[in-house]
Amino acid sequence: MSTQNGQSVVRWEGTETNGKRGHGAGVRVHRIEIETTKRVEIRDLTELVQGIVRDAGVDAGLVTVSTMHTTTAVFVNEPQSALLDDVQQMLERLAPRGEDWKHNDSRYSDCDRHNADSHLRAIMLGNSVSLQVSEGTLTMGQWQRVLMAELDGPRKRQLVLQVLAP
Amino acid sequence: MSTQNGQSVVRWEGTETNGKRGHGAGVRVHRIEIETTKRVEIRDLTELVQGIVRDAGVDAGLVTVSTMHTTTAVFVNEPQSALLDDVQQMLERLAPRGEDWKHNDSRYSDCDRHNADSHLRAIMLGNSVSLQVSEGTLTMGQWQRVLMAELDGPRKRQLVLQVLAP
Amino acid sequence: MSTQNGQSVVRWEGTETNGKRGHGAGVRVHRIEIETTKRVEIRDLTELVQGIVRDAGVDAGLVTVSTMHTTTAVFVNEPQSALLDDVQQMLERLAPRGEDWKHNDSRYSDCDRHNADSHLRAIMLGNSVSLQVSEGTLTMGQWQRVLMAELDGPRKRQLVLQVLAP
């Protein structure tokens, strides 16, 4: 598993801004589309998110990065290639792909993607992160990055990013 | 394990609104009570949350759904019955109920509910979720629902929902 | 593992306040430094967080408590000593320290801290929590506390706390 920053196919569409506009207050929403390339893959969204925050012109506030899919996740950590392989190893132990999950059993489930492991891993990793914005930038430690986990790819995935400033 | 939407006994009490009222800005708080019926159970809160957001009349903002209990959790995924059984299977592997946890040992703990597994599962699942509101509705994907996990029921459980609009 | 509230060496530095100041609206940021004393340790931040919220003079809003480190985590539960030992036991099963993680292997990783387990546990526990503020205090249940998990200590750790009020 590796991050694919340079080759990542991401596109952000438009900006809906609402709420009070005075002094930069309000809520801005950006939709992001990521095209993943493997069944399990972790992508670094940090530069994309930082760019959106910068363009929003918000000085201080809260960014919520939310995935729209039940078989993807968003979390914060260090995207070192070796560590990302270890994440996959831990997830495989936590929710083994080949286990006889009921979600994968046609007697109990009408889903034929055999992705029970994907749902379970997504639940444990989380569907969103909240990031602080201060002086126009994300408040993150030296090694922290915003990461999206694809768990049932490859597919086109939607995330929604909200920048909220009081 | 199954969701119990129609028969769920939920009640939301009152609304405290504070902060600036102009243009719908401010913070609204709703308390929710859910009466669970099993030791481990997952309930779908989505319609309840959506109704509260709609009644709040907020166009854009952030909703925080927080449980008040250390043996319950809130998370987002798909409440398919078979998958919820798989969630239970994964949680049992992660934190087995019958393991000799110190929290369940009267030599070390004054809690006699034998619910160490409940606390541990709650920690891993999470105590709150943050949901975006846009155009008056929750920004969620097609299969996503807001779910509450009861892990040491059956009991009456309190959740607090905050709608924040700048 | 135990919580160390009285002896904890914590310091909060300054307050940056920006955004609109009218009626207490805006964003306040506080940096916290915690000096941990063991490799794996859980600290109770609740009183510190509550004090910052009180001093901020915010009546209603949202607090985001974020760790700046990829080998620490923030979560909410009950800091009973026996339960915290159980948390350690669960984390050791989830991500065993002695497993042959690639992150700890000099052939694949330039990190020599042998802390793959720390990263993995931090990912699963989470990097931040969102806490509601109502009537000037944290909206938390009777047994809930804001907890920080040190997973690769002992070290000086930075957390950033944001109080956002619309």
- The answer to whether the beta carbons of residues A120 and B90 sit under 8 Å apart is yes
Residue A88: its H or E element:
helix A81-94
CA distance C125 to B156: 26
Model confidence band, residue B4 (pLDDT cutoffs 50, 70, 90): very low
Nearest-Cα distance to chain B for C32, in Å, is 22
pLDDT digits (tens, 9 = 90+) for B106-160: 999 999 999 999 999 999 999 999 999 999 999 999 999 999 999 999 999 999 9
The answer to whether residue B103 neighbours chain C at the CB level (below 8 Å) is: yes
Residue C15 pLDDT > 60: no
Residue of chain B whose alpha carbon sits nearest to that of A20: B166
Model confidence band, residue C25 (pLDDT cutoffs 50, 70, 90): confident
Length of chain C, please? 166
Residue of chain C whose alpha carbon sits nearest to that of A93: C94
Q: What is the pLDDT of residue B24?
A: 63
B neighbours by CB contacts (3+ pairs under 8 Å): A, C
Mean pLDDT value across chain B? 90
Residue of chain A whose alpha carbon sits nearest to that of C122: A77
Beta pairing class for A156-165 and B10-18: unpaired
Q: Which residue, among C2, A77, A17, has the nearest Cα to B166 in the 3D structure?
A: A17
Q: Report CA-CA distances (Å) from C71 to A8, A108, A161, B102.
A: 27, 40, 25, 25
The answer to whether residue B26 neighbours chain C at the CB level (below 8 Å) is: yes
CB contact under 8 A, C119 and A86: yes
Q: Which residue, among B164, B133, B140, B10, has the nearest Cα to B75 in the 3D structure?
A: B140
pLDDT digits (tens, 9 = 90+) for A74-90: 999 999 999 999 999 99
Q: Which residue has the higher pLDDT, B77 or C2?
A: B77
The answer to whether residue A131 neighbours chain B at the CB level (below 8 Å) is: no
- The answer to whether the beta carbons of residues B40 and B1 sit under 8 Å apart is yes
CB contact under 8 A, A140 and C68: yes
Q: Which residue has the higher pLDDT, A115 or A9?
A: A115
Q: What is the pLDDT of residue B25?
A: 82
CA distance A105 to A111: 8
Nearest-Cα distance to chain A for B18, in Å, is 14
- The answer to whether the beta carbons of residues C104 and A83 sit under 8 Å apart is no
* HEC readout, C27-43: EEEEEEEEECCCCCEEE
Nearest-Cα distance to chain A for B137, in Å, is 13
ipTM, interface predicted TM-score of the complex: 0.90
- The answer to whether the beta carbons of residues C132 and C23 sit under 8 Å apart is no
The structure's pTM equals 0.91
Q: What is the pLDDT of residue A24?
A: 63
pLDDT digits (tens, 9 = 90+) for C66-109: 999 999 999 999 999 999 999 999 999 999 999 999 999 999 99
Q: Which residue, among C36, C72, C51, has the nearest Cα to C137 in the 3D structure?
A: C51
Q: If you search the block for the tokens 């987002």, which residue do you land on?
A: B76
- The answer to whether the beta carbons of residues C119 and A77 sit under 8 Å apart is yes
